[in-house]
Structure 1
Amino acid sequence: MKKYKAKGGRGGRPQLQNELVRVHTVGIRLNSSELDSLKRKADSFGLPLGQWLRNIALKHFVLRPLVPEINRTVYAELANLASNLNQIAKASYSSSVAMPTHLICQTNNKLHLLRLELLGIKNDSKTD
């Protein structure tokens, strides 16, 4: 029969230094819709509400929200469409068939803006 030695010291998570331990709380009053809104925003960043609020208040920056998987999928499909559109444009330049190039360029620009929007990137330039 094996004998087991008792572990030295306590198990579990190591203790934080005294100045890093969070012992104070700050309370604010919110109505239900405000609380739901804050929770949704925190969820979009993949963070608990308290950590998200702490990041905003103390670090003075907000991370980008997580991009939903459906947006990534549509982004990839739009990339394929943009590639096809680019091939059509190149073919029109090399052939004698006249194609409305301004429409092709306008469509390509709109595809690009839509792809950026799906990733949550704002583009202030106008391309119409």
Structure 2
Amino acid sequence: MRGALGGAVITEKPNVKWDDVAGLEGAKEALKEAVILPVKFPQFFTGKRKPWSGILMYGPPGTGKSYLAKAVATEADSTFFSISSSDLVSKWLGESEKLVTQLFSLARDSAPSIIFIDEVGSL
């Protein structure tokens, strides 16, 4: 199964800084609150205060979604996983679920990780 995802997943340690992303101040702040704060200050997220479990970024192509995700991975010193949603879809019953499970298993093995699933709208 790792071989099935091996060619589809782009794994890297990106080098994109917040200053490299022009504009998108609201999105940057939301990502900092959702990802960077829990990583750098875990003591703030105890008890009933839990960090966000995910973020959905949407918009037309070329608006900086993947660049923002790379900036988050750089800032959080995480491994960046980029995969297209079409690589997670299979015509065989149960195969898509196995691929998603395997993706998250790979991410856990490389923790801390950021998973960016591109083209979610095509599902």
TM-score (normalizing by structure 1)? 0.24
Q: Which has the larger radius of gyration?
A: 1
TM-score (normalizing by structure 2)? 0.24
Larger helix fraction of residues: 1
